[in-house]
Amino acid sequence: MMHSERNFIYNTMGQIMVRSVWNDKFDAKNAGWVADGDKKSGGQGEAWPAVRSGIRAFLKVLKSQKDSERRARMYREAVALYTYEHPGIPSLIESNCHRYEQMDYKLYLVTELVQGPTLREYIEENGSMSFQDAVDMIDRLLDIVEYYHSRDGIHRDIKPDNIILRCSNPADAVLVDFGLAWQPQDENAHATYDGQELGNRFLRLNELAPDSPNKRDPRSDITFVVGILFYVLTGKNPNVLEESESGRRPHQRDGASESIHAATNGWALSMLALFDRGFSPLLNSRFQTAQELRQELKRMSGNKPTLVDGEILSEIKKRLEAQGAEINKTYIRKISEAVSKIIIVRNNIAEEIGGHLSGVETGYYKSEPRHSWLNIGFDTPGTSYPRFRPTFDLKIIADELIISVFSENREGVAQIIWRTHVTNSDFGDVFRSKIREIFVAGLNEIFSQ
């Protein structure tokens, strides 16, 4: 719909009819809308195809009419639909949501009727998409996202149930349900408070969690689109960026890689690298714009999937970089630096007591680049006993290196002995003094028995 057409719609006879978007009727029935099809229920509203004066449209009525926060959300959705003019966003025909503060109004909105299945219905009926269909659909979604991002809008609820494929055509996707959308006019009113979780269960994002201060970042929408790409290629919901126990990202879980290989053929390595980056838990490591993601998909779809040796190695390099190889090297180097400082203190003590005890490092275990432990201590030459081998546990959390001490067999409660910044680390006199105290106290205990 062009700007000049904003105040016009067409009836079934093709006649132009002047309309007023904001209607002061108390509810949809009083406004003349009659349900004309099967009802669909969503999280916030109930919806039907509807008709009035020969005009077929899509009617949505708020479920929780007494909930002031949900009333404000529906008003936000109506404003978004009225503001945006894009073929991939349904145009608003009519609404009384501007009366959201007046509780006697039963809020509704009416949009153009988009004929076709939701993306979830399409995948459940037809199975996973071909690589080219997936690329075509994602390109369309990115065009929509890029459009409203350029107007400072953020959707924040992109999921298969909120995407309709017009006439079952993946390349003609339509994005619906702007109930969680944020727009600049929400800055001081109608905004969702920080303690509430936003987004959806299709893909939970860290930045949309309760108490996150970063709920208005357009990169969240790009990440949702990456989730949609994963979904149409595998038929699986991504759910979370990383599993809490294993740390696996969606494309690393059971069966996902096989589906991606089957769908993308020779581009599987590149697609896995795309997901490595797109599903990073760190916002700054993900795709930053719609254009970045589009360019990567265009590169894959526009070339033959046969790679020469150099290209294969380049793709592997991209995967490693997307998985955080560079930062992982930094973490490993930092832990190694801390270990070397501990060993220096241990060696100095061994010299002080005449070299009669031998230094030992054993039991080293690297569960991940951010977490390692090592027994560092003393053995009696020839017999190993008496010996003192405390376990030093080194863990990086966010930008801190935290060092704890256990007994040799890692029993009991760990004693945290040092915390320092990963970048500007402090392993100076105070640190060395603490390590010395641990060694001297332990030696005193075993030789006093």
| Residues linked to residue 95 through DSSP beta bridges, in sequence order | 22, 109
269's tokens: 């390595």
- Cα separations in angstroms, 65 against 70, 103, 108, 220, 427: 8, 7, 10, 29, 60
Band (pLDDT 50/70/90 cuts) for residue 185 is low
- What gap in Å lies between CA 285 and CA 292, rounded to an integer? 12
| DSSP summary character for residue 388 | B
Mean per-residue pLDDT, 339-351: 96
pLDDT at residue 318, as a whole number? 75
pLDDT of 376 > 60? The answer is yes
Q: Taking Cα atoms as reference points, which of 127, 65, 128, 137 lies closest to residue 97? A: 65
Q: What percent of the chain has pLDDT over 70?
A: 89
Tokens 């501007």 locate to: 98
Contact 142, 226 (CB under 8 A): no
Ranges 192-196, 269-273, 365-369: which has the least confidence: 192-196
pLDDT at residue 382, as a whole number? 85
pLDDT in tens, 390-417: 999 999 987 899 999 999 888 888 899 9
Band (pLDDT 50/70/90 cuts) for residue 270 is confident
What is the residue-averaged pLDDT of the chain?
Answer: 87
- Superfamily (CATH H level) for 3-111: Phosphorylase Kinase; domain 1 (3.30.200.20)
- What gap in Å lies between CA 319 and CA 308, rounded to an integer? 17
Q: 315 or 89, which is more confident?
A: 89
- What CATH topology corresponds to 119-323? Transferase(Phosphotransferase); domain 1 (1.10.510)
Peptide bond preceding 250: is omega within 30 degrees of 0, i.e. cis?
A: no
Question: Within 10 Å of residue 247's Cβ, how many Cβ atoms?
Answer: 13
pLDDT at residue 142, as a whole number? 97
- What gap in Å lies between CA 223 and CA 205, rounded to an integer? 8
Say if strands 173-175 and 163-165 run parallel, antiparallel, or are unpaired: antiparallel
Direct distance between the N- and C-terminal alpha carbons of the chain, in angstroms, rounded to an integer: 88
Tokens 């060092």 locate to: 403
Band (pLDDT 50/70/90 cuts) for residue 306 is low
Q: 127 or 214, which is more confident?
A: 127
Mean per-residue pLDDT, 126-147: 96
Band (pLDDT 50/70/90 cuts) for residue 449 is confident
Q: Helix, strand or coil for residue 107?
A: coil
Peptide bond preceding 90: is omega within 30 degrees of 0, i.e. cis?
A: no
pLDDT at residue 24, as a whole number? 94
| Per-residue buried b or exposed e for 335-370, using 16+ beta carbons within 10 Å of the residue's own CB | beebbebbbebbeebbeeeeeebeebeeeeeeeebb
| DSSP summary character for residue 193 | P
- What gap in Å lies between CA 72 and CA 69, rounded to an integer? 5
pLDDT of 388 > 90? The answer is yes
Sign of CA dihedral 159, 229, 128, 140: positive
Q: What percent of the chain has pLDDT over 90?
A: 61
Question: Within 10 Å of residue 285's Cβ, how many Cβ atoms?
Answer: 17
70's tokens: 């949900």
pLDDT of 279 > 90? The answer is yes
- What gap in Å lies between CA 58 and CA 90, rounded to an integer? 10
Ranges 22-36, 160-174, 210-224, 225-239: which has the least confidence: 210-224
Ranges 20-24, 141-145, 212-216, 444-448: which has the least confidence: 212-216
Band (pLDDT 50/70/90 cuts) for residue 367 is low
pLDDT of 316 > 50? The answer is yes
pLDDT at residue 214, as a whole number? 77
| Residues linked to residue 76 through DSSP beta bridges, in sequence order | none
